[in-house]
Structure 1
Amino acid sequence: MAFLQINNVRITGFAAGVPATIIRNDDSVVYSEDYDASAFVEMTGVHERRVDNTSCTSDLCYAASEKLIADLNWDKKEVGAIIFVSQTADYRFPATSCILQDRLGLNKECYAADVNLGCSGWVYGLSIAASLMQTGSITKVLLMAGDAKRVTSGDDPLFGFAGTVTALEYSSEAKPIDFHFGTDGSGFDAIIMPDGGARNGLSVESFNKETIDGKEYTRLQCRMKGMDVFSFGISIAPKSIKKLADFFGFDYQTFDYFVFHQANLKMNAMIQKKLKLDNAKVPISMPTFGNTSSASIPLTIVTQLKNKIENQPTKLLCCGFGVGLSWGTVAFETDNIVISDIVEI
């Protein structure tokens, strides 16, 4: 079973970068002939998003990293690893983490790796980053997560662009970080971009449009089986949280905040209802930022919890779920954490 407990690692900071450009879904934006702005906003909860045609995920993560490193007063040469989690890398190769190592001016003896995961990616990335630090030979790590400049650009009213960074430090006094993970690859095509990879390469046909659920897509655009993903999310997230609590022997109701992947407002409301959680414990960033893929959990922490958790010990339980199909849940505590102001570029 995919349970994991990591000791000697403390999460010390969060930061997020977003485009300065705001697109409002409830204005008269026409995405398709049958697009109903008010119905879409009511169904998803996404009123506005941050989107532009110039910023890559790495640009947003770079800006957030510079801000957080300065706020933490870190020596860049002490950063021993970068984990970059994204489905929108700068290039097919080389790895974007290598580019960010140089761009940030980090030590050349720096572990750098990319992880191609979406909605669950921040939780997976956190486990990888923390695992690298167990022996204390690597004492500072930057976990970057997000998506931007998708092939769909600003055409899909659900998605927004964001890049985040989470700072981790080695500490023998840190409380454990507990994880639960799962994967159901039989649902791999529930959220998929069919062409552009090794399985189905780029061709003239890749640009042909086909109508799915009343909307036109090319084979280079993400398409989703909405009801399948909805059913998956409302089922798996509560189960994962309860399994994590049972395995490690804690009462999840004692946690201060629950931060879920920001996929769909109704989906998250049903998850909240199943877990019997108060509204005050479940922050949301979806109305103003949309679905930001692997950035959604740390982005929600930065934008919704900064003034609530910076100056006091806080117990957080986070769950990401989606493309893969995959999911990950993590429970951790913060103390004297640094949360940078959001960076707009």
Structure 2
Amino acid sequence: MAFLTIPNIRLAGLAAIVPKRREHNSDYSWISKKERESIIKKIGVETRRIADKGVTTADLCVAATEKLLHHLKWERSEIELLVFVSQSHDYLVPTTACIIQDRLGLSTSCIAFDIGMGCSGFLYGLSLVGSMIQSGSIKKALLMAGDISTLTTTYRDKSTYPLFGDAGSITALEYDTTASTMEFNLQTDGAGYKALIIQDGGARNVMSRKSFDIKKISKGVHRSRLHLELDGIEVFNFSLREVIPNVKRLLKHTGKTMDDIDYLVFHQANRLINETLRKMLKVDPANVPYSLREYGNTSSASIPLTMVTQLRDQLTTKKVKLLLSAFGVGLSWGSVLLETDSVICPEVMEY
């Protein structure tokens, strides 16, 4: 197992941001009213936020970071590491984090790079940033996570369009010898890469005219090879097969039980998956917050967005013991145990 123990890292600040434009799944006219109601009940998503044309994940994250830095009162010259977790970069080349470093006016001594991950990206980013800070050579760092997922879905695909929303997040981390230890259990199974995939546009299948052709896959599912393909059954089976053992192994490794945890925060995959996992872990619904209903599945931003929108009062006023669990595209999954203490956390922002 890929267990990581990372001491001396304090989660100093957290912010989330969504586009102003709201879309209601009850208005999704591609399918019948009866089917709309069935899908909404199954996935648990009533509304989603959709970015305007030309707005990128970087735009969202930069706006959120500007506000969070104001609240933290951090000097930009102090920030020595910037990590941008996303699957919707500004350009194929260069790295988006480099562009963001300049937009934020950070020092040229700041390390900046991207991580091209989705659902589990926030946890992987957290583990990597934490590991780099741990030695004490880096004192303050920024972790951005988010996606404009709606760029990869099409109105004519009922399997993805009603599920995904756009969002960004920023997490400020700093070296602190008094901070509680973060404990990770991270895993990967690339054999399942086709469960969530965009076929064309990369180096394996270079974009061509045929890439844009919309084809009927099944009833209500029409898409091109540039749109996201989601194998719902495979993702469901993977989640139930791997997530629970991953969480239980982490708890056993750390000598903890679910009774030691204040809140269990899942990646917001869909309600059917998340509720099944919650019941299998026998956790009270009051201790498992959701942002799905208002925002949908927001990829790597889903955990920080859920924390900001559902746990802000707790995070800002006291110590909170959290178990975070993320899973999806890759296939990649993991969990982390951490304790926060009086986090600077402004209300969710709109862009």
Q: TM-score range by the shorter chain?
A: over 0.9
- Partner residue, 1:89: 89
SS of equivalent residue, structure 2 residue 289: coil
CA displacement, residues 211-232 of structure 1 (integer Å, 9 cap, x when unaligned): 2232101000001110000111
Indicate the SS of the match to 1:338.
coil
In the alignment, which residue of structure 1 is the partner of 2:310?
A: 304
2:182 to 154, 177, 196: 177
CA drift at 1:132: 0.8
Equivalent residue in structure 2 for 1:158, among 157, 163, 166:
163
1:277-319 deviations in Å (ceiling 9; x for gaps): 0011000000000000000000000000001221111100001
Residues 1:240 and 2:246 aligned together: yes
Helix, strand or coil: the match of 2:317? coil
1:40 offset after TM fit, Å?
1.3
Name the counterpart of 2:113. 113
Q: Structure 2 counterpart of 1:41, which letter?
A: I
Q: In the alignment, which of 203, 216, 220 is matched to residue 222 of structure 2?
A: 216
In 1, Cα distance between equivalents of 2:127 and 2:303: 15
Q: Is 2:194 the partner of 1:195?
A: no
SS of aligned partner of 2:293: helix
SS of alignment partner, residue 36 of structure 1:
helix
Alignment TM-score, normalising by the size of structure 2: 0.95
- What is the CA–CA distance in structure 2 between the aligned matches of 1:154 and 1:104, rounded to whole Å? 33
How far, CA to CA, are the matches of 1:290 and 1:154 in structure 2? 15
TM alignment of 1:19-98, pairs within 5 A: 19-27=19-27, 29-32=28-31, 36-54=35-53, 55-98=55-98
Equivalent residues of 2:320, 2:339 under 8 A apart: yes
- Separation of aligned partners in 1, 2:44 and 2:140: 37
Aligned residues of 2:186 and 2:333 also touching (Cα < 8 A): yes
> Is the counterpart of residue 268 in structure 1 residue 277 in structure 2?
no
The whole-number CA distance in structure 2 between the counterparts of 1:263 and 1:35 is 23
Q: Structure 2: where are the runs of 5+ without partners? A: 156-160
* 3-state DSSP of counterpart to 1:68: helix
Mean CA deviation greater in 311-320 or 31-40:
31-40
Q: Counterpart of 1:6? A: 6
CA deviations 1:205-259 (Å, max 9, x no partner) are: 1011222232101000001110000111122221111000111222232100000
Distance 1:35 1:96 in 2: 42
Would you say the 8 A contact 2:10–2:174 is kept in 1? yes
Is the 2:149–2:298 contact (alpha carbons within 8 Å) kept by the matching residues of 1?
Answer: no
Contact 1:120 1:321 in 2 (8 A): yes
After TM superposition, the runs of 4+ consecutive aligned structure 1 residues lying more than 4 A away are 32-35
Shifted more, 136-145 versus 154-163: the winner is 154-163
CA contact (8 A) 2:19 2:52 kept: no
Aligned residues: 344
Q: What corresponds to 2:135 in structure 1?
A: 135
Q: Indicate if the aligned counterparts of 1:98 and 1:113 stay in contact, CA closer than 8 A.
A: yes
2:341 equivalent to 1:341: no
Gap regions ≥5 residues in structure 1: none
Tell me how far apart the structure 2 counterparts of residues 242 and 108 of structure 1 sit (CA, whole Å): 42
Contact 1:144/1:164 (<8 A) preserved: yes
Aligned-residue CA RMSD (Å): 1.4
Letter in 1 for 2:191: S
- Give the CA deviation at 1:95: 0.5
**Structure 1 length normalisation: TM-score?**
0.97
- 1:204 maps to a residue whose letter is R
